[in-house]
Amino acid sequence: MIVGVGIDVVDVERLARALDRTPRLAARLFTDQEQQSGGVASLAARFAAKEAVAKALGAPGGLRWLDAEVLRLESGRPVLEVRGTVADAAARQGVASWHVSLSHDAGIAMAVVVAES
């Protein structure tokens, strides 16, 4: 059963400017592995996924950015790993699995996240 669905879009250039302006921002938003995943468009898609996770959970307060990690399988398929604040919020709602889709084109990155019980 679907517990929640979230979608978000991110302007890639806007994120690039924010990362340039605030050097420690990347470490606050992305895990080390996420930071190694590719360029700014890839980071923007991951940021959109983190926002979409919050929306799928009903946007509860207190979620930490680093507690939702978007990784890529060898096949290229994105997967979501949650821990800490995000895992706790998901457990309270009975979330047992996640589905995530990422895309970026024409300067826009987007993500769709489905939380399933």
**78-107 pLDDT, tens per residue?**
999 999 999 999 999 999 999 999 999 999
pLDDT at 69 over 90: yes
Q: For residues 61 and 7, which has the higher predicted lDDT (pLDDT)?
A: 7
CA pseudo-torsion sign 33, 66, 86, 12:
negative
* CA atoms of 51 and 9, how far apart (whole Å): 9
Contact 49, 5 (CB under 8 A): no
User: pTM of the entire structure?
Assistant: 0.95
Distance CA 50, CA 30 (A): 10
Q: Which of 86, 81, 83 is nearest to 98 (CA)?
A: 81
pLDDT at 93: 96
Domains of the chain plus CATH, in order, are 2-116 (3.90.470.20)
Q: How does the average pLDDT of the chain come out, rounded? A: 96
Tokens standing for 46? 């991951």
